[in-house]
Structure 1
Amino acid sequence: MIIIPTFLLFSLLIIPFHHSHYFERLILTNCEVFYSFNSTLLQDCELSRRGPEMAYAAVLSLMQVLQQLMGGHVRFIRYEKQQLESFQEKVSFLHDFLENHSTSTSIEVKDLEKEIRDTAYRAEDIIESYGSTCILYYRTNRRLRYLNFCKDLDRVIKEMQSIQEKVAKVKRMLDLKYVQQKNYLPINGPRLTFSDKKPHMVGLVEDTTKIKDWLTSSSSRREIISIVGMGGIGKTTFARNLFDDSLIVYHFHVRAWVTVSQEYQMHEILLGLLDSMDKLNPDMRKVSSGELAERLYKNLKGRVYLIVMDDVWDSKVWDDIKRFFPDDNNGSRIVLTTRLKNVGDLAASTGCLHEMSFLSSSESWNLFREKAFRGEFCSPRLEGIGQEIIRNCRGLPLSIVVIAGLLSMDKTVGYWETIATALNSILAADGGQCSTIFSLSYNHLPAHLKPCFLYFAIFPEDCVIRRSKLIKLWIAEGFIKPNKSKSLEHIAEECLEDLLNRSLIMVLKLGHRSKVKTYRIHDLLRDFSITQVKKEKFLHVINRHTPSHPKGRRNERRVCIQPLTPFKFSKYICNSNGPPFPTRSLLFYHQDGDIIITERSFGLLRVLDMESGVRLLEFPMELVRLVHLRYLSLSCFRAIVPASISLIWGLQTLVIDIWHLDVLLCHLPPQVWLMPHLRHVQIRSIDCHLPDPPNSGVEGKKFVTLAKLQTLSRIRNFRFTDEIIKRIPKLKKLRVVYDVRSKDWSQFHLGNIVCLNELESLHIESYSKIAFPPNFKFPAALKKLTLKGCYLRSEDLAMVGSLPNLEVLKLHNDAYEGQVWEPNEGEFCELKFLKLSWLGLLHWRADDSHFPKLKCLMIRWCFNLKEIPIEIGNISTLELIELDDASLPAIASAKLILDEQRSMGNDVLQVRMKSNWHKDLPRYSKIR
């Protein structure tokens, strides 16, 4: 089975004709499947496009296909250049129209959107289908295929011409109407740069005091506290603010948070708890639930702990997991949040059930003003309109923050009056509340944000959504419009920021550089997005509630298989019998069983994500025939990637997770260096062997620059030769592992690392116990540096300290060989996060001038360290010192730092301590 990215479909064009036999050896003999591919596919697609669809996303995707076609080596597609340019102009015209009228409610516009969408998809299918046949069946019936392609494309171009004429008439009408109106809704105003990184809570002062008293009371019994309330009333935000409160942090040895959700799995709950406690490593994800439960119990035993189980739907969850929480009669607490009062009643200890109430009028206004104005002035006129709007929210926090996010985009009286009128009209029509406000906010999203928001429906309920993965998927789907002055990743970051500012998504976790790592979407907003994707046929979500074998399911362009879905459903979706599918994206979450993806069924696939559940024995050879693939993520027992993967020339992201612990290596072929569209190559859980690139000029091999490659992880014994450095000029994130058996670093040319001018994150790990070569330098652009087992000398560490942009530094496992560390003045001027672990450090001599912007200091398993420099406490930005199994003198110095800072009125600094080996120590966490 093979998926071919659109750009890949033209990649073969640069292969000389006399090398065509190479491809014939790789293709199947049943090429007759593709002879009828176009017509069958187009007939099937018609069945699936009867409802409204995302016309903007369809046209943007087609634009990218045409750009790749026009800018590539057009060897097989010999269509007249003039006609293609004319077609491209028509598509660009329609794109501009949709972008500027995405919020229009005009019936004429809606009808045109359907026509535009259908025609755009037909054109895309024709071009990509023909490209697939050209690449895979190069010598078979070429002239007949080309004539059919020209005929089909001519028909679509004529349809596009007709639509363009209709659009021009409607556009003139709308433009005239907008000029005549005093107030109208802005479509693409200036981007706002603010965003809330942490959940904000307004009011609930008495409620907070009451729960704090329950949590910190003198009762030594282990008590369970239930927080009950309807969806959107703020249970999670309320619990999160309690969880992070300084008094609560002070009181408990261990805190852990896990979101349970309606369709829970005990294995995932246990993983979530261990991860929250920072006791999870990648290997543990592969062990049984019993082993995870035992590890959880041992990590909680004897400690005063706080566990928050968020969004519990079934009392059975508590019955199943409560035995894993030791009851040592030491004042531990467990908090459950739930929408169901009977669940809260069954779990809660006597007198420990709290029901959330709606916000009062004043609290509602305060929350609205905080979200809509962010501290700016609110005019009396806007306040009057705002008060009218929030009355319709009826004290429900989620409704308030979503409507505030919409109104924050434009603080003009006309815009607010228009929204107020629309809200009153919709509420009068259907009487709904949350869904009405969500619909209003969604309908007024700019065109480029609508598909980005709807894409959140692919993630399971309460899923932790990784920013990096979401951005890669958006780019692969074609949702991100290219901009010459910005990278696609940067544009996608801006889209995420816009959705966050509109309160449609929430930050879950920040990284060490205050950059968002993970997001989540509220259950009610996720439910709305699922309803919307069904309505617009944008995405088909399959779960255990999906009717068996519904008609038309094969015709969806995007399919997501959710957790707990019966295997028979997945087997039906992936069944290769029958006509080919127009599916562009196929995503699996926690799916068991053997899944077969073939070229016959999924020849146009762009996104294949099987990493989150489908465990394969090895890399499937069929995948190299999916020549349109842009995003490929797999979980394999072992992975020897074939050389023919270079057929997928348009591949942007390759992620392989090795799930068996006994496998030592993943093997990538040297042909990876011939794939110019690669952006991210990530090998997880294991080291990866990547040979040097083929020699330029040998056997017809050309020098290929991977100008888009940004991520390379994690490569074993990587060689930084001059040629390799020239091939990866835009690399931003690199993780390498070394096992230098010959004790000779020269073979790896490490000195050339400094030539990677755009490298921002570098992780170097050495198993060799050999000091790095002298006079070694890192690139000046580095923002994050992790070193493990590198045995740096004091002069090396001084060189690290001189890096002008370094914000995060982690030194592990003898990364520094010295026993004394004394930074020089002016070093580490931008460092915000410092982590030292398993170092033989005895003396650390430093003051507040050495780390002027440090926010977090973590010291783990540095058993010989005599003290933490007292002057470190004087760093004005320092917020946290965390010690894990530190020496007694280091613990004493940390307490001294805290006492001194408290005496000076510093209530911001926290000191946290964990210990597994000092059995005689008191509750050190009490000194936070």
Structure 2
Amino acid sequence: MAESALSSVVARMSNLAVQETSFLCGVPDEITFLKDDLTSLQCFLQDADDKRRNGNASVANWVRRIRDVTYEAENIIEVAEYTEKWNKVKRGFIGAMLRYACVLNDIIARHKLGVDINRVRRRFREIAISRTTLNLFDLGETNRVQDFRSKAKYSAYSDNDDVLVGFEDDIKLIRARIENAENDQLTFISIVAMGGAGKSTLARNVYNSVKKDGLFDAFAFVSISKSFEVINVLKDIAKQVMGIEGKDKELHEMSRSDEVEESFDKIREESITTMLHNFLKQRRYLIVLDDVWTAGTWDLINVRRQVFPDMKNGSIVLLTTRNLQIAEQANGLTYVHQLKLLSKEESWHLFCRKAFPSHESIDTNHRVEFESIGKNLAKKCNGLPLALVLLGAYLSKNLCLDTWLKMDHCLDWQMTKKWDIMEQILARSYHDMPEQHLKYCFLYAASFPEEYEISSSAITKLWIAEGFVPHITKHTLEETSRYYLEELVQRCMFHVVKRSKAHGWIEVFQIHDVLRDWAIQEALREGLLSVCKNRDNLLMLASGAMTAYRVAFHDFFDDEIYRVSPNLRTMFGFNLSVGTLHTLKFLRALYLEKSNLEKFSRNLGSLIHLRYIGLRYCKNVTLPSSVGCLLNLQYIILRGTRLPYIPSSFWNIPALRYVWFSDVKKWTAPRGGQQKELQTLVIQRKDQTRVSKYIWRRMRESLMHMTHITSLGIGGANVPVEMLTCLSDHDYLVELYLRALVGLVKLPDSRLFPQKLRTLTLVTGSDSVLEEDPMLTLGKLPNLVELTLAVAKYEGHSMSSSNCGFPRLQYLKLWWISAEKLRFEQGTMPKLITMTLEQCGSMARLPDGLLNLPSLSELKLVDMGNFLTRKSCEELENKGCKLIVTKGEQI
């Protein structure tokens, strides 16, 4: 941890020391000397880290001292930076008067800065002197930054290629049990095996295949984990099986997942239990409860609450567990499937798929040696798929005979515990990572709860805010952070859940609970992160054994943290009730989910170090006018969190890079030219209150200056059509979302659209009547990959996609289209994979020319009426296009 902290601070001081500002006049020399002190200690950290890992307590304490004083130095420097930024914000006559009035304060502050730096320098000198007694050697510069875009070697296998080697018979047996249960009573199928044996992978594969076959009416896949709350499990099941089909009228009107989430969160346990039971009574369902740990889990979920009705229709509840006793306790028909470990041949097959990427050319003579060593290594994994995957991924990055031989000698044949081998492989994979930043990015994922589906957008921005992502020439920080994530996936440290359709990069991923448990312990040893689930964890921090700079609270919070960790830099919270944050004056990143933040806004403006604010499905959130004082704030993301208003002072923050407000009641617009670093801007409203023309004019004026923006989303009650025409000069814009467009008669010329657009969502308002076919215009956009179009009022009878239109489009969703006919000419949409038609009530038949789309593999019809014929179904089937017909389901 100290190495990463030192690197970040040295880089910051390199920039600060060369600034010639009035505020720092007389101070740059002290900063330069401090930078030299820091750089000199960097050279000893690699040796110190090696000795610390070998159990040298004195060296471990030395490293902790470096980390602590480094953070103190960073705080001092940032205060200096902040003061200079604040001086620049003061403008005009009043600003000049304020600057003049503060000359004396600046002199005092400058003096204090010099005193603080000298104090920190003395501490560094003391630490430097003590290194001689610890026999630490200078190993040279250790901060290596790798450009993953050009150097990373990626596996040839896709994310969807779930590792199912050796499970073919298991899949057949479980599927047969499910398919033959059509007229049986409620059946419980349990998959039992130790951790890392592939239970969840097998269950997910069976679940996905059965879901595609349409054998059931309702589906849910829910992870239970060690510590769970029944109400949260029930809500998760309800969200999946009910979608927008729920009993509550409001659920019918919702079209966004965050609204569904919020609605369910308001429902009490008794109500949701009854609602879920009554809903499932009318359907044949498949529910998967993944990773059930305790014997009382099933009793808590179903026996006491009677959630899952038995209608004698062959419904299935599938459990995965490590405990045979749990598998056998369910009532009714029970089938226990004990998952065997892989055989010698299966282990070798799986190992090869990961260790020998197809793009690597290995000399024939050497390949024989590699295979000989590899077979020995595969055998040592004791048939555990997770161990084989991790080991294979590690060795695929090190196609060197010496490395393979060392690994073979390292793994102990005599170990009786399979997890000893697993931990050795995991530790070797971790320590083999090419730079310290990447290691901390992996450990950081332990902040999230077990089995949590982690948003890549959230965590990569947190990495940036933490200083884990270095600047690489010609790459943005966001690009580098995505390469870091890809590298960790290729090393099998993370598992991809979802990728972006338009861009191909990772959107959602998970960390295996075995890897997460190891990461929690390693993060604690590194001094990177502490996870608090109860008061005992907090008392451990209070003992002073290690200073806590980053804490993740899971379903537990205590104000004692303010006393225990006054220098806290990062706080995660899940299901909390948080008070004020005024004592956390050095806080840099704040991520809270499903928490009550009634007093959150008090003193928020005093947290001048804040770089990241993420609030997901939180309640009682307001932003005070003092938020404009957070001049270092780069990311603010409120997803599923209602905000009464955006204070106008918010738009004074110059450092903003990513702004996402999913539900703002009172609209305010940015000020032109302020946010030059802004890349993503999303502001949505859920009510129907109209926005004034003045605000829209200011929004357009501001957007004219935001020429580097890459993603823009505006949703309100009356988005003017001019919002489309003001974007033609935005050469970097690749994602555009405009909802409730008014006054739209025809789309502007395709040349007035940003030409690099890859994702486009256009939804017209109720008072827009489109007179011309929008498909003819949109089809000319050369880079469009994903299109969602909703046109409620259209004067024409048909819409058509012409020859050579939509050259790169892969995903098309037409929603609320009032046209009677849809036609596709020969040669249009050559790359289209999936088409979705939803609630297009005027359409009486399938689109003409559907068979002309050469790459179409999936057609989804949602609430489209009953106009399918047997002939059309057979034609689609012969073409190799899967037809999915659903009613009232969120797509």
* TM bucket, shorter chain: 0.7 to 0.9
Aligned to 1:197: 159
User: Secondary structure of 2:403's partner?
Assistant: helix
Aligned to 2:209: 245
Quick one: structure 1 residues 638 and 108, their matched pair in 2 at CA, closer, same or farther if it must change by over 3 Å? closer
- Count matched residues: 823
Contact 1:830–1:853 (8 Å) recurs in 2:
yes
Aligned to 1:21: none
1:112 CA drift (Å): 7.1
Aligned to 2:250: none
* Cα-to-partner distance string for 1:10-35 (whole Å, 9 max, x where unaligned): xxxxxxxxxxxxxxxxxxxxxxxxxx
1 CA distance for matches of 2:159 and 2:515? 19
Aligned to 1:146: 113
Quick one: structure 1 residues 482 and 166, their matched pair in 2 at CA, closer, same or farther if it must change by over 3 Å? farther
Which of the numbers 509, 512, 516 marks the counterpart of 1:526?
516
2 CA distance for matches of 1:756 and 1:71? 33
1 CA distance for matches of 2:38 and 2:491? 30
Quick one: structure 1 residues 778 and 111, their matched pair in 2 at CA, closer, same or farther if it must change by over 3 Å? farther
1:687 CA drift (Å): 4.9
In the alignment, structure 1 residue 408 sits paired with structure 2 residue 392: no
Quick one: structure 1 residues 106 and 358, their matched pair in 2 at CA, closer, same or farther if it must change by over 3 Å? closer
Aligned to 2:598: 617
1:538 CA drift (Å): 1.6
Aligned to 2:171: 208
Quick one: structure 1 residues 486 and 293, their matched pair in 2 at CA, closer, same or farther if it must change by over 3 Å? farther
The answer for unaligned runs of 5 or more in structure 1 is 1-53, 176-185, 695-702, 918-924
1:291 CA drift (Å): 4.5
User: Secondary structure of 2:801's partner?
Assistant: coil
Contact 1:585–1:605 (8 Å) recurs in 2:
yes
* Cα-to-partner distance string for 1:579-602 (whole Å, 9 max, x where unaligned): x7221111111113x42211xx31
Percent sequence identity over matched residues?
24
Structure 2 counterpart of 1:227, one-letter code: I
Deviates more, 1:399-408 or 1:186-195: 186-195
Which of the numbers 254, 259, 265 marks the counterpart of 2:229?
265
In the alignment, structure 1 residue 304 sits paired with structure 2 residue 271: no
Aligned to 1:563: 554
1:430 CA drift (Å): 11
* Cα-to-partner distance string for 1:547-587 (whole Å, 9 max, x where unaligned): 5633546763434343332x4xx221135xx8x72211111
In the alignment, structure 1 residue 653 sits paired with structure 2 residue 635: yes
Aligned to 1:823: 801
Quick one: structure 1 residues 429 and 306, their matched pair in 2 at CA, closer, same or farther if it must change by over 3 Å? closer
In the alignment, structure 1 residue 501 sits paired with structure 2 residue 490: yes
User: Secondary structure of 1:424's partner?
Assistant: coil
Deviates more, 1:293-302 or 1:255-264: 293-302
2 CA distance for matches of 1:474 and 1:173? 26
Structure 2 counterpart of 1:756, one-letter code: H
Aligned to 1:765: 739
* Cα-to-partner distance string for 1:864-908 (whole Å, 9 max, x where unaligned): 22222364345443332222221211x33xx6454224446x3xx
2 CA distance for matches of 1:112 and 1:310? 42
Aligned to 1:57: 4
* Cα-to-partner distance string for 1:222-248 (whole Å, 9 max, x where unaligned): 322111111111001111111222686
The answer for unaligned runs of 5 or more in structure 2 is 87-101, 245-256, 686-690
* Cα-to-partner distance string for 1:202-260 (whole Å, 9 max, x where unaligned): 01222111111001115412322111111111001111111222686242333321111
1 CA distance for matches of 2:816 and 2:700? 34
2 CA distance for matches of 1:425 and 1:89? 48
Aligned to 1:581: 566
Which of the numbers 859, 874, 884 marks the counterpart of 2:862?
884
1 CA distance for matches of 2:344 and 2:441? 34
Aligned to 2:265: 286
2 CA distance for matches of 1:492 and 1:305? 40
1:624 CA drift (Å): 0.6
Quick one: structure 1 residues 870 and 263, their matched pair in 2 at CA, closer, same or farther if it must change by over 3 Å? farther
> Cα RMSD (Å) of the superposition?
3.8
1:337 CA drift (Å): 0.9
Deviates more, 1:877-886 or 1:148-157: 148-157
1:69 CA drift (Å): 2.9
Structure 2 counterpart of 1:418, one-letter code: K
1 CA distance for matches of 2:788 and 2:43? 47
1 CA distance for matches of 2:480 and 2:315? 46
Quick one: structure 1 residues 714 and 625, their matched pair in 2 at CA, closer, same or farther if it must change by over 3 Å? same
* Cα-to-partner distance string for 1:498-540 (whole Å, 9 max, x where unaligned): 1111111111223433442211111111110111122222211
Aligned to 1:51: none
Aligned to 2:611: 630
Aligned to 1:40: none
Aligned to 2:440: 451
Which of the numbers 468, 480, 483 marks the counterpart of 1:491?
480
- TM-score in terms of structure 2 length: 0.83
1:689 CA drift (Å): 1.5
Contact 1:666–1:689 (8 Å) recurs in 2:
no
Deviates more, 1:681-690 or 1:851-860: 681-690
* Cα-to-partner distance string for 1:67-106 (whole Å, 9 max, x where unaligned): 4534667454445435534544664576688689988999
Contact 1:542–1:559 (8 Å) recurs in 2:
no
Quick one: structure 1 residues 247 and 154, their matched pair in 2 at CA, closer, same or farther if it must change by over 3 Å? closer
User: Secondary structure of 1:615's partner?
Assistant: coil
Contact 2:678–2:708 (8 Å) recurs in 1:
yes
1:652 CA drift (Å): 0.9
Which of the numbers 431, 435, 440 marks the counterpart of 2:423?
435
Structure 2 counterpart of 1:588, one-letter code: G
1 CA distance for matches of 2:224 and 2:637? 27
1:770 CA drift (Å): 5.4
1:160 CA drift (Å): 7.9
User: Secondary structure of 2:540's partner?
Assistant: coil
Quick one: structure 1 residues 147 and 210, their matched pair in 2 at CA, closer, same or farther if it must change by over 3 Å? closer
Contact 2:27–2:110 (8 Å) recurs in 1:
no
Aligned to 1:314: 294
User: Secondary structure of 1:845's partner?
Assistant: strand
1:629 CA drift (Å): 0.5
User: Secondary structure of 1:655's partner?
Assistant: strand
1:750 CA drift (Å): 3.9
1:619 CA drift (Å): 5.6
2 CA distance for matches of 1:425 and 1:581? 47
Contact 1:310–1:336 (8 Å) recurs in 2:
yes
Aligned to 2:575: 590
Structure 1 counterpart of 2:481, one-letter code: A
Structure 2 counterpart of 1:558, one-letter code: Y
2 CA distance for matches of 1:749 and 1:310? 46
Aligned to 1:778: 753
2 CA distance for matches of 1:131 and 1:338? 49
In the alignment, structure 1 residue 217 sits paired with structure 2 residue 175: no
Quick one: structure 1 residues 684 and 737, their matched pair in 2 at CA, closer, same or farther if it must change by over 3 Å? closer
Quick one: structure 1 residues 187 and 817, their matched pair in 2 at CA, closer, same or farther if it must change by over 3 Å? closer
User: Secondary structure of 1:483's partner?
Assistant: coil
1 CA distance for matches of 2:532 and 2:238? 29
Aligned to 2:656: 678
Aligned to 1:363: 346
1:671 CA drift (Å): 3.1
Quick one: structure 1 residues 307 and 143, their matched pair in 2 at CA, closer, same or farther if it must change by over 3 Å? closer
* Cα-to-partner distance string for 1:434-457 (whole Å, 9 max, x where unaligned): 222212221222222110111111
Which of the numbers 666, 677, 680 marks the counterpart of 1:707?
677
Structure 1 counterpart of 2:262, one-letter code: D
Quick one: structure 1 residues 709 and 531, their matched pair in 2 at CA, closer, same or farther if it must change by over 3 Å? same
Quick one: structure 1 residues 102 and 316, their matched pair in 2 at CA, closer, same or farther if it must change by over 3 Å? same
Structure 2 counterpart of 1:208, one-letter code: I
* Cα-to-partner distance string for 1:316-345 (whole Å, 9 max, x where unaligned): 443444433343333222211111111111
Contact 2:355–2:393 (8 Å) recurs in 1:
yes
Deviates more, 1:363-372 or 1:857-866: 857-866
1:732 CA drift (Å): 1.4
Deviates more, 1:312-321 or 1:819-828: 312-321
